[in-house]
Amino acid sequence: MTDTATAQRHVPADLPDRICHYIDGAFVDSLDGGTFDVLDPVSNEVYVQAAAGKKADIEAAVHAARRAFADGPWPRLLPRERSRVLHRIADIVESRDARLAELESFDSGLPLTQALGQARRAAENFRFFADLVVAQADDTFKVPGRQINYVNRKPIGVAGLITPWNTPFMLESWKLAPALATGNTVVLKPAEFTPLSASLWAGIFEEAGLPRGVFNLVNGLGEEAGDALVKHPDVPLISFTGESRTGQIIFGNAAPYLKGLSMELGGKSPAVVFADADLDAAVDATIFGVFSLNGERCTAGSRILVQRDVYDEFVERYAAQAKRIRVGYPHDPATEVGALVHPEHYDKVMSYVEIGKTEGRLVAGGGRPEGFDEGNFVAPTVFADVSPDARIFQEEIFGPVVAITPFDTDEEALALANDTKYGLAAYVWTNDLKRAHNFSQAVEAGMVWLNSNNVRDLRTPFGGVKASGLGHEGGYRSIDFYTDQQAVHITL
Ligand code: NAD
């Protein structure tokens, strides 16, 4: 590292010596002693080794989770009793939000202030499902003099949770909270780029009183630990968040076992700006939509479609604002875009920046920001005049890179918005109420934000259509995924 990079790198105090699995209430190494390197994205130096789980480690974790499900108290507790534990988990996460943010920011390169927001959201996920599981009501029907029908809702067993490296702690909580609230036991396989924050769950859960064996964690590579979890016959559920390509592989591998699958996959979401929109708000929101969380956001509005009447003005203002975004070291509270998670991902994003230079008009960024010679830093990059057959229009880049494309009519905007294999989110900016609602109805997206972004009630469905996912999570949909609903019929 250069002297500047060394001076700027912030290494949190009390980092672990190594990152272990957590199986049946104990931190353990891999049975074969295998490990993998974990890098920090500012220096790209190895700062710790993590246990590399294989089939045998998954076997041990599933065995513990199965025993806790078959014989332990957790699935048999009243919802209110489980809810109390979940609220304690939320309390502990909240009380440690600053430390969580520090570690997450160090491990993933997310700006500290944004990592703090994600830690708080993780606590909220636990609080939300703690409340929801107590409020849960199920169908009961009576035909007078004939019959009564009601539903027994039951936890399913061992849930396999496989998560990505973007906002890792928060996304883990989005699966852990409903899986545990409903009485399942779990094996979590976090992303190999960012194992640090996941290792904190064990201590948090122990302190909150989660019984032994209910939560198990196996680190490792997707093709090894993740693959073994997907193919384990005693894991009836897999909740996966990650790339669409990985989702396809998992879908195939789970098929022989007919597992329950929830798939939250990639995106290339359009943000559509009509000429009648509040342009100030649209520029601010679409900047946030693609450059917050380093652009490593599944719902990023990474294709901006702008009506031709305001196109030139929009592009000019957008490029000027993108150039003002503060790229910086992740631990600096003033930083708005930090370092991308890993050199492999950095290379992928940079390759798209180069492709973009042949496919569009570069109006901001286009490489490393000045003053950052090392680490995974990319200047917020904006390409205008991008045609729909361009790779940067079609493919998920998952970094601070955006493509802007003009359109003339509502019909053309809709055709462009739907012209990718993905269908996760869409953003619409217009002051015409009818157009906003009609466009929402027609656009192929699991979620639509009208004149807004980054607001979401956790009771609403979260998920995508087309290559962006299968099934929905959020509110009762998560409860449904993690439970069996047995119908009981009685003749009167
Ligand atoms: P990824 O698919 O490479 O990896 C995700 C997880 O799957 C990791 O834990 C990985 O180890 C594991 N894995 C990889 N191959 C596997 C296999 N063969 N079997 C079992 N597990 C395997 O994704 P990533 O690069 O970590 O994350 C970025 C992607 O996630 C982007 O496409 C992004 O859009 C998507 N994402 C989607 C959502 C959503 O809610 N829709 C949210 C966040 C991220």
Ligand 1, from 243, 348, 447: best to mutate by most atoms within 8 Å of Cβ? 243
Measured in residues, the chain has a length of: 492
Catalytic residue of the set 102, 104, 192, 298: 298
Tell me the pLDDT tens digit for each residue of 417-472.
Answer: 999 999 999 999 999 999 999 999 999 999 999 999 889 999 999 999 999 999 99
Query: Is the CB of residue 470 below 6 angstroms from any atom belonging to ligand 1?
Result: no
Mean pLDDT computed over every residue of the chain = 97
Instruction: Give Cβ neighbours of residue 349 (< 8 Å, ≥ 6 apart).
Output: 295, 340, 378, 397, 398, 399, 400, 401
Query: Is the CB of residue 238 below 6 angstroms from any atom belonging to ligand 1?
Result: no
pLDDT at 2 over 70: no
Between CA 310 and CA 314, with CA 312 as vertex, the angle to 5 degrees is 65
Ligand 1, from 38, 125, 162: best to mutate by most atoms within 8 Å of Cβ? 162
**Token pair of 479 as six digits:** 């409860």
pLDDT-derived band at 4 (thresholds 50, 70, 90) equals: low
Residue 20 designated active-site? no
**Token pair of 354 as six digits:** 């180069």
Query: Is the CB of residue 250 below 6 angstroms from any atom belonging to ligand 1?
Result: yes
DSSP letters of 241-276? ES-HHHHHHHHHHHGGGT-EEEEE-----EEEE-TT
H or E element that contains 115 = helix 112-135
Q: Tell me, what's the pLDDT at 454?
A: 83
Catalytic residue of the set 104, 192, 264, 374: 264
Tell me the pLDDT tens digit for each residue of 329-357.
Answer: 999 999 999 999 999 999 999 999 999 99
Q: At what angle do helices 433-442 and 410-417 cross, to 10 degrees?
A: 30
pLDDT at 5 over 60: no
Q: How far is the centre of ligand 1, averaged over its atoms, from the C-alpha of 258 (Å)? A: 21
pTM: 0.98
Residue 264 designated active-site? yes
Q: Which residue lies with its CA nearest to atom 26 of ligand 1? A: 164
Query: Is the CB of residue 225 below 6 angstroms from any atom belonging to ligand 1?
Result: no
Tell me the pLDDT tens digit for each residue of 16-54.
Answer: 999 999 999 999 999 999 999 999 999 999 999 999 999
pLDDT-derived band at 9 (thresholds 50, 70, 90) equals: confident
Please report which residue ranges of 325-375 form alpha helices under DSSP H: 343-359
